[in-house]
Amino acid sequence: MQNINDLREEIDKIDDDILKKLNERMSFVKKIGELKQTSGTSIYRPERERAILNRLESLSSNILNKSAIEAIYLEIFAVSRNLEMPEKVAYLGPEGTYTHQAAESRFGAMSAYLPLASIEAVFTKLKHKEAKYGVVPIENNTEGAVGATLDCLGRFENIKVVAELYMDIHHSFASVCENLKDIKKIYSHPQGYNQCRKFLDDHLLLNAEFIPTKSTAEAAKFASEDQNSAAICSKIAAKLYNVPILFETIEDNMANRTRFFILSDFKNERSTKNKTSILAKTDHRPGGLADLLTAFRDEGINLTRLESRPIKEREFKTVFYIDFEGHIDDENVQRAIDKANSFGDEIVWLGSYIPGDQR
């Protein structure tokens, strides 16, 4: 029977082989990067990464499940992209927010991150080529759509949606204090605090002084400097300020999810499954919206989201944000848009991309 040392020796041998193979992989990655830079092709190809993940998941045994494979290979993809060309990623800050966590989940630890104070600032950085990618929230399943993102998508015409991701929003309870009874203050954004009241009640913490903060990252920072305090924050914020996490998921509603858009300046190629976002301004007449929807229905196109937004002009007019299944280059999509244009509708294409995992 093998002992622990024997097993560790076997693991060391496998680790040596893995490192050797990773170096081989990266040598091919660098060659591909050189070709992409010569041809002007985008470094980030979400459809290619998804195809790799699907293939590997189909080959895996029961030990590594889908989530484990994605966790490993998304980091490998991020390292690969940075070898091809260093990436700068702008996101809605500050550091340690859930948008930061979403950005790092796709672009890895090696990328250069640029936290910004507003969603409009993210779009502006992309417009001026001061960042290649942007990450912004688009909707939350409990709070609804993020209006600032919808408005900017309509104003910044050369910025496109190149990917989406869904992320579970888990609040963590972090503190440098080892004993819950010694915690006298709790730092948190008010929304986060209110979403975790059951946990606080169950652990007799509602009597601790609540100190509101501007963000979960700020909460973690203050808790790192205050011995008898705790923070309700994201995992990445606790990691950033080196505050031990005592409880990982403390929110009352475990189904809290946010959808994020990854933005850039290129067009994705068609793949086996696509999703497209558009803005549609209908002609101001009775039945205008119904005719627009009929144009898509007649082509067998499934609409997955319809959201109205006011046009910020003197008149009370609206524009419709629409998600549907398919790629902008699909023939039936082009027919539907042509029909809508014939009605006098104005269609703005925002991007076609691989649908995110909505588990």
For 154-166, write each residue's pLDDT tens digit. 889 899 999 999 9
CATH 3.30.70.260 residue ranges of the chain are: 268-353
Q: 87-169+256-266 — its CATH code?
A: 3.40.190.10
Q: What is the pLDDT of residue 313?
A: 58
Contact of 112 with 133, CB cutoff 8 Å: no
Per mean pLDDT, which of 7-11, 38-42, 78-82, 308-312 is the most reliable?
7-11
Q: 172-247 — its CATH code?
A: 3.40.190.10
Pairing of strands 257-264, 133-140: antiparallel
Please give the structure tokens belonging to residue 134.
Answer: 């942007």
Q: How far apart are CA 107 and CA 79, in angstroms?
A: 8
Q: 1-85 — its CATH code?
A: 1.20.59.10
Residue 335 burial (C-beta neighbours within 10 Å; 0-12, 13-18, 19+):
middle
Per mean pLDDT, which of 42-46, 95-99, 196-200, 213-217 is the most reliable?
196-200
Give residue-wise pLDDT tens across range 286-337: 777 888 889 999 999 999 999 888 776 545 567 899 999 999 999 999 999 9
Q: What is the pLDDT of residue 75?
A: 80
Under DSSP, is residue 335 helix (H, G, I), strand (E, B) or coil?
helix
Q: How far apart are CA 195 and CA 135, in angstroms?
A: 24
pLDDT band at 359 (very low <50, low <70, confident <90, very high): very low
Cα angle 171-183-187, degrees, rounded to a multiple of 5 = 45
| pTM given for the model | 0.74
pLDDT at 51 over 60: yes
Mean pLDDT over each residue of the chain, to the nearest integer: 87
**Which of the pair, 281 or 352, is modelled with greater confidence?**
352
Mean pLDDT of 192-204: 91
pLDDT band at 85 (very low <50, low <70, confident <90, very high): low
Four-point Cα dihedral 35, 41, 42, 48, nearest 10: -80
pLDDT band at 40 (very low <50, low <70, confident <90, very high): low
CATH 3.40.190.10 residue ranges of the chain are: 87-169+256-266, 172-247
Q: 268-353 — its CATH code?
A: 3.30.70.260
Contact of 337 with 146, CB cutoff 8 Å: no
Supply the DSSP string of 203-233, one letter for each residue: TT-TTSEEEE-SSHHHHHHHHHT-TTEEEEE
CATH 1.20.59.10 residue ranges of the chain are: 1-85
Give residue for tokens 């209110």: 194
Residue 129 Ramachandran class (φ > 0 left, ψ -120 to 50 alpha, else beta): left
User: For residue 237, what is the DSSP state?
Assistant: H
Give residue for tokens 């888990």: 170
Half-sphere exposure of 100 (CA within 13 A, CB side): 23
pLDDT at 48 over 50: yes
Give residue for tokens 């041809």: 39
Q: How far apart are CA 143 and CA 253, in angstroms?
A: 13
Angle between the N-to-C axes of helices 147-155 and 119-127, in degrees from 0 to 180, rounded to the nearest 10: 20
pLDDT at 230 over 60: yes
Mean pLDDT of 31-51: 74
| Helix ranges, the chain (H) | 4-39, 46-59, 66-84, 98-107, 119-127, 147-155, 190-194, 197-202, 216-224, 235-240, 288-298, 331-342
Give residue-wise pLDDT tens across range 19-37: 898 888 888 887 877 777 6
